[in-house]
Structure 1
Amino acid sequence: MELRHLRYFVAVAEERNFTRAAERLHIAQPPLSRQIQQLEEDLGVVLIEKGVRPLRLTEAGAFFLAHARTLLDQVRDLRTMTQRIGKLERTLSVGFVASTLYGLLPDIIRRYRERHPEVDIALHEMTTVEQLKALKEGRIDVGFGRLKSADPSIRRIRLREEPMVVALFPGHRLAGGAGGLRLTELVHEALLVYPKAPRPSFADQVLAAFSEANLTPEHVTEVRELQIAMGLVAAGQGIAIVPESVQGMHHRNVVYRPLDEPHAVSPIFFSVRHMDRSPELENILAAVYAVYDDHGIAHGGEKL
């Protein structure tokens, strides 16, 4: 059994069709069929049910698929990490969700640059879903995102739980007053959530906060990105629930009120490829914890 057998089988299983898999792999269909047959003969088990359309895996095939994907991910990680170590220039490519840019991420990057000026840092704004794909493809080395993931090829460290706040136009009836707002006060408001795609996203975290409180907002509008949501809030077109770090986006026509809801929080995750333990990643994680300590933010201090 060779790596090409794993790639061929995964393509067939994902496409559920030999013709489409052959096109995806840029090979002819007969050689592909022979490779799968050789794989089954080598393993001594049937992986794909015969004569069934659409294509269906046997129980052994489903088991093999799950582990074949993991092995291919590990091979890709090994390739990326070896290439990085072999380069004379040290680089670190960082993906981040937009809201973190208004929080402590700039402080973290500055701290890292001060301690490691020899490393060239590239920053890429992208959603958490986009970060996971970019990590697996080797386009970024670390991601700062907000969504959980069960992808076995990605290692995730929960850095902190960030409270959510409500963004409102200054003339809004709820803009004044002391103390925090309750979600029950917001269900009748025009609620702006972002991003519209890809999903899941921070929009789903906001809607989940309502759901956990057994509430359903009456008017929900999905917008493409954070900046659009805040522009619409400033124009008096609705309210938005955002991470508290967004308060760093100083807008003269937006005010913020805290949410008096313990479960209304948005986590920040540090995501890397599962096998990656390069010094650059250890060092930027250390910079995160140092900045958190400076600001009195609790963290678990988890290592890679």
Structure 2
Amino acid sequence: MSDLEVRQLRYFVAVAEELHFGRAAERLGMAQPPLSRAIRELERQLGVPLLTRTTRQVALTPAGEVLLHDARTALDAVTAAGRRAQRAGRSEPELRIAMKADYDGGLLPRILDRYREEAAALPVRLVLGGRGEQAPALRDGSADVALLPAPFDDHGLDVEPLLTEPRLVALAATDPLAARPCLDLADLSGLILPDGTPADREDLPPGTTDDFGVRYRTPAPCDPGGRPRGTVAGPRSRTLDLAQIFNLIELGSIVWFPPVSVVRRHPRPGVAYRPVRDLPPLTLTLAWPQTSRSPAVAAFVRTATAIAAAGDTRGMMWG
């Protein structure tokens, strides 16, 4: 078997993710016939079928499932190598930190103050994104280190938990539940989270990878008083910023589970925050590529873990 080419892997991943040759060809900016020929040649080269094809559908074989997983990893590594080489060659290199806005447990200002004193420190650039975007940014070279909430896909990454803090429920101040000092998840039946997950079943797969995005659904059932609960209807998903999240909460359309450190930064008269007895806490985690040999990354990791270990817990309590 001859060595696989990056081009072949890109073609295969597009087809495997779309499971449709026409859509994959459009995504790749090429005609369908040469794409089909390229996939057939890849199968001949490997000596195994990667796809099953019928007139109605395309599906992955077991060999195709394996190749898809490894091809994604390989393509991420190739992209990351190019990006990191470009950044290393710049006259003013920088350390890129991926995170969600406000999801730093209140630690980032202290980490950066201490980090600047390190001999290996570089100027810092924040790479802000939604939930689920930080780990891929590390693997494709868009970022050097990340602050992100667990759990996440950590393959190819080194991970260090920094702190664990409670989460509260954010709901409309006019909601009858806001009159209670403490709630259980069962009390939130019929309400939905920003990603469309039922609030009392947070363990269900979300409608989207970003918990600042709303999966539009048919209206939820009414509560005993006849008030629609969690009504966010429609056929598609979109991404919302923090201000839009709060507006939907104030309107009673959704609820949200922010950590205490975020709650303290965003007091709003139209939003009530209440403890939820059986809501799991949030663990803030530091992650970086296992292959990293950057002194700047090593210095940031040392600094962040030291700050987290020595930090006070004022931001971790509620009430």
Normalised by the length of structure 2, the TM-score is: 0.67
Query: Counterpart of 2:30 in 1: which secondary structure?
Result: coil
Q: 2:149 aligned with 1:150, yes or no?
A: no
Q: Which residue of 1 aligns with 2:12?
A: 9
Query: Counterpart of 1:149 in 2: which secondary structure?
Result: coil
Q: Which residue of 1 aligns with 2:74?
A: 71
Q: 1:35 aligns with which of 30, 34, 38?
A: 38
**2:185 and 2:278 in contact (8 A); partners too:** no
- Please report how far the alpha carbon of residue 256 of structure 1 lies from its aligned counterpart in structure 2 after TM superposition: 8.8
Alpha-carbon separation, structure 2, partners of 1:239 and 1:256? 10
Query: Counterpart of 1:139 in 2: which secondary structure?
Result: coil
Q: 1:54 aligns with which of 38, 52, 57?
A: 57
Query: Counterpart of 2:69 in 1: which secondary structure?
Result: helix
Farther-moved stretch of structure 1 (1-10 vs 167-176): 167-176
Q: 1:288 aligns with which of 301, 304, 307?
A: 304
**1:169 and 1:253 in contact (8 A); partners too:** no
- Please report how far the alpha carbon of residue 264 of structure 1 lies from its aligned counterpart in structure 2 after TM superposition: 3.2
Q: Which residue of 2 aligns with 1:271?
A: 287
Q: 1:126 aligns with which of 118, 125, 129?
A: 129
Identity %: 33
Q: Runs of 5+ in structure 1 lacking a partner?
A: 205-217, 298-304
Alpha-carbon separation, structure 2, partners of 1:57 and 1:113? 49
Q: 2:122 aligned with 1:110, yes or no?
A: no
Q: 1:22 aligns with which of 15, 21, 25?
A: 25
Q: How many residues of Structure 1 are paired with residues of Structure 2 in the alignment?
A: 281
- Please report how far the alpha carbon of residue 112 of structure 1 lies from its aligned counterpart in structure 2 after TM superposition: 1.3
Alpha-carbon separation, structure 1, partners of 2:173 and 2:18? 52
Alpha-carbon separation, structure 1, partners of 2:100 and 2:146? 8
Farther-moved stretch of structure 1 (84-93 vs 226-235): 226-235
Alpha-carbon separation, structure 2, partners of 1:252 and 1:30? 57
Query: Counterpart of 2:58 in 1: which secondary structure?
Result: coil
Q: 2:211 aligned with 1:201, yes or no?
A: yes
Q: Against the structure 1 CA distance between its residues 253 and 74, is the aligned structure 2 distance closer, same or farther, given a 3 Å change threshold?
A: same
Aligned CA-pair RMSD: 4.3
Q: Against the structure 1 CA distance between its residues 175 and 26, is the aligned structure 2 distance closer, same or farther, given a 3 Å change threshold?
A: closer
Alpha-carbon separation, structure 1, partners of 2:252 and 2:16? 50
Q: Against the structure 1 CA distance between its residues 65 and 220, is the aligned structure 2 distance closer, same or farther, given a 3 Å change threshold?
A: same
Normalised by the length of structure 1, the TM-score is: 0.70
Alpha-carbon separation, structure 2, partners of 1:171 and 1:40? 61
- Please report how far the alpha carbon of residue 91 of structure 1 lies from its aligned counterpart in structure 2 after TM superposition: 0.4
Q: What whole-Å deviation, never above 9, does each CA across 1:165-200 have from its counterpart, x for those lacking one? A: 4669999999999xxx54249937998955779545
Q: Which residue of 2 aligns with 1:93?
A: 96
**Letter aligned with residue 84 of structure 2:** M
Farther-moved stretch of structure 1 (99-108 vs 161-170): 161-170
**1:166 and 1:241 in contact (8 A); partners too:** yes
Q: Which residue of 1 aligns with 2:187?
A: 187
- Please report how far the alpha carbon of residue 238 of structure 1 lies from its aligned counterpart in structure 2 after TM superposition: 10
**Letter aligned with residue 164 of structure 1:** R
- Please report how far the alpha carbon of residue 266 of structure 1 lies from its aligned counterpart in structure 2 after TM superposition: 0.8
Alpha-carbon separation, structure 1, partners of 2:268 and 2:53? 66
**Letter aligned with residue 264 of structure 1:** P
**Letter aligned with residue 87 of structure 1:** R
Query: Counterpart of 1:90 in 2: which secondary structure?
Result: coil
Q: What whole-Å deviation, never above 9, does each CA across 1:49-103 have from its counterpart, x for those lacking one? A: 2545311222222222222222222222222333333334220122222333571
- Please report how far the alpha carbon of residue 122 of structure 1 lies from its aligned counterpart in structure 2 after TM superposition: 1.3
